[in-house]
Amino acid sequence: MRGHADAILAGIGLDRGAPGPLYRQLTAQLRGLIDSGRLPAGTRLPASRALAEGLGISRTTALQAIDQLAAEGYLDGRPGSGTFVAALTPAPAAGGSAVAGQAVAPPAEPSGAGQPFHPGVPDAAAFPARAWARHLQAAWRAPATGLLTMQHAAGQPELRAAIASHLRSFRGLDCGPANVLVTGGIRDALALVGQALLPAGAPVAVEDPGFPPLRTALQAQGRPVLPCPVDGDGLRVADLATRAAGTCALTVTPSRHYPLGATMPLPRRIALLDWAGATGAWILEDDYDSEFRYAGQPVPPLAALDRAGRVLYLGSFSKVMFPSLRLGYLVADGDTVARLATARPRHSDPPSAVPQPALAAFIDSGGFARHLRRMRRLYQARQAAFLSAFHAALSPWLVAAPAPAGMHLVAHRGPALPARMTDLQLSALAASFGLSVPPLSACYAALPAGAGARARPFGLVFGYAGVAEPVAARFLQRLAAAIAGDCAAPGSL
């Protein structure tokens, strides 16, 4: 016991000259010791008096920190036996998602993909790893020479065929293998299109709000991006004439707008295709979240309606298989695919062949479609459980409504949240204990001019799909406690 207390005291260094109340420093440092594993679950904390003496602080300060951490779920009080570090992270053997085990992102992992609620992360525990490993072994134990030596700039032929077949059944796309180019993901597709099809430096229109990495990737190509507004029916096509004049391409998420979730109605889709036909611009259709629809009628993708050959249909296996797979696809007319495949070797290496025949076999065997059905049921149930836990924990401060599709929800401002609090601040508060809930305002390329805190967009994007229900509930309670603590503290946030 004494050893633990020493470790705790040795791990804390308080700076009395720093601004803000001292208990906040102590809270943050204890939280860090727990998050980093240096204070494992079950560790008994010194009594508040001992803590205060050891650190040279008042007992009130020690008690404030302990109370705050208990409210956040970091500490458990056991009557008659003291205060202990709570077992928040379920042991891997206990089943369920192990996502909390990654709360501390490793170096060179800037995306937050390992942190709970990071949008777009599927439930890794539900992935059929044994079947996947079997397909990998079967594909590579006696490979044809060509599998080892050929570098197919458009992807392995069997995977192109499997993707085409899947998209014909699931999305009604009239496509064959020659229409499919295998990509390393959405950024790889954007880079290839930018290099091979679009004039250097020509602007590209994007949805506003939209998916920030997409905007960043286009800007990294040295292109101006033209933000185009969005309403309850998705991208405002009528505004393109003014907002997207002179653009060579447009990125759009008509199935389910990211992050707000609108589905673009059919008349607007037709108008969008007409616009592309008239201007000659390419439409980069990101068929985001089309795999997981829980209610309502699916609307056909733009690519299925396109008669003028202006649509490049983009999809990814990151969310429906797993993010580190890094495989996706671009579907277009055969000439465009051939043009992109011919250009690729000048610019970039094609994706590794290693996962490609295994993914093709997984699709062809029916295992992929079964996995999609299982995940659809799982995520639908998980959304309901998430919303119930969310309301229970956070309803005075944040509100969220059910969504008919996808893997994330956007939480909006609730009545009790002080008007001065921005979504950036709340996102940073959540990040301080390891959650990745990106602020909606960061999805905007152009914030309303002269926007004060009130006019500024407010929202937090919660990816609920990858976090098992009990873990999600604990994290939501912890977030609620942190918000309550900050609302109550003078001069906080």
**Number of neighbours of residue 476 by Cβ within 10 angstroms:** 25
Q: List binders of a second copy among 60-99 (CB under 8 A).
A: 97-99
Tell me the per-residue interface mask from 224 to 263 with a second copy, x by CB under 8 A, - otherwise: ----------------------------------------
Is residue 388 part of the contact set for a second copy (CB under 8 A)?
A: no
> At closest approach, how far in Å is the CB of 212 from a second copy?
11
Question: Measured between alpha carbons, how far is residue 259 from residues 200, 232, 464, 484 in Å?
Answer: 29, 12, 14, 26
The residue range among 14-22, 227-235, 349-357, 478-486 that interacts with a second copy, by the rule CB under 8 A, is 349-357
> At closest approach, how far in Å is the CB of 122 from a second copy?
8
Is residue 379 part of the contact set for a second copy (CB under 8 A)?
A: no
Contact 121, 316 (CB under 8 A): no
Question: Measured between alpha carbons, how far is residue 279 from residues 109, 193, 253, 256, 442 in Å?
Answer: 40, 18, 20, 24, 30
Candidates 150, 270, 392, 401; binder of a second copy (CB under 8 A) is 150
- Please state, in angstroms and rounded to a whole number, the distance separating the CA atoms of residues 254 and 174: 18
Angle between helices 157-171 and 367-394 (to 10 degrees): 60
Rounded to 5 degrees, φ, ψ at 220 are -65, -20
> At closest approach, how far in Å is the CB of 221 from a second copy?
8
Q: List binders of a second copy among 98-127 (CB under 8 A).
A: 98-99, 101-102, 106-111, 113-114, 121-122, 124-125, 127
Rg (CA), the chain: 25
Rounded to 5 degrees, φ, ψ at 471 are -65, -40
Tokens of 147: 């599998």
For residue 91, what are the contacts with CB-CB under 8 A and spacing of at least 6?
Answer: none
Is residue 295 part of the contact set for a second copy (CB under 8 A)?
A: no
> At closest approach, how far in Å is the CB of 311 from a second copy?
20
> At closest approach, how far in Å is the CB of 240 from a second copy?
26
Candidates 146, 199, 224, 418; binder of a second copy (CB under 8 A) is 146
Is residue 148 part of the contact set for a second copy (CB under 8 A)?
A: yes
Is residue 354 part of the contact set for a second copy (CB under 8 A)?
A: yes
> At closest approach, how far in Å is the CB of 214 from a second copy?
11
Size (the chain), residues: 493
Is residue 141 part of the contact set for a second copy (CB under 8 A)?
A: yes
- Please state, in angstroms and rounded to a whole number, the distance separating the CA atoms of residues 149 and 172: 34
Q: List binders of a second copy among 170-209 (CB under 8 A).
A: 178, 183-188, 191, 195, 200
Candidates 222, 229, 267, 298; binder of a second copy (CB under 8 A) is 222
Question: Measured between alpha carbons, how far is residue 346 from residues 157, 192, 301, 477 in Å?
Answer: 21, 10, 31, 52
The residue range among 9-17, 43-51, 324-332, 483-491 that interacts with a second copy, by the rule CB under 8 A, is 324-332
Candidates 10, 144, 449, 488; binder of a second copy (CB under 8 A) is 144
